[in-house]
Amino acid sequence: AERKLLPALYHRQMEGQFTEPTRIIGASRASLSHDEYRKFASDALKEHLKSGEFNEAEVEKFTSRLYYVSVDAKSEQGWDDLKKLLEEGKDRTRAFYLAVGPAIFSDISEKIRDHKLITRNTRIVVEKPIGRDLASATELNDTIGKVFREE
């Protein structure tokens, strides 16, 4: 997130690709407030953007879109907090970007389903590599496919 994802999302902001009111919700096991996450993101952008790309006003606008919730992929911790945060704008497109190891894709997919976070506008994005070989890739695809339909 720090080195690649946040700068990539910031570039989408700079290109005018976010509609209002876009929100970006960071989630991990770490306990952070929304403001601490925004500071983390601002510091990450200062460190990882190329020279001349950091625009204070755009960074402020970008970080104002950021929210954070502490969630554990393998337990019930935080999932109700995430659901509550998603209640506002529940008809908007939701993209769950899983920047985690493939070993917990299934756990997260099932938690998203079990906590009724899937709407008709929900998408899931997983980072490569998906599996170590064809067999493990097929298994992961089938596991995620049990929760999220291909289309």
pLDDT tens, residue by residue, 56-108: 999 999 999 999 999 999 999 999 999 999 988 778 889 999 988 888 888 99
* pTM over cut 0.85: yes
Same domain? 54 vs 119: no
Residue 113 in contact with residue 145, Cβ under 8 Å?
Answer: no
Domain around 138: 91-150
Whether 108 and 137 map to the same domain: the answer is yes
Give a yes or no: residue 104 inside a domain.
yes
26 close to 67: Cβ distance less than 8 angstroms: yes
pLDDT at 11: 96
CATH code of 21's domain: 3.40.50.720
Number of structural domains the chain divides into: 2
Q: Do 52 and 100 fall into the same domain? A: no
Paired with 27 in beta bridges are 69
Q: How many CA atoms lie within 13 A of 23 on its CB side?
A: 18
22: in domain? yes
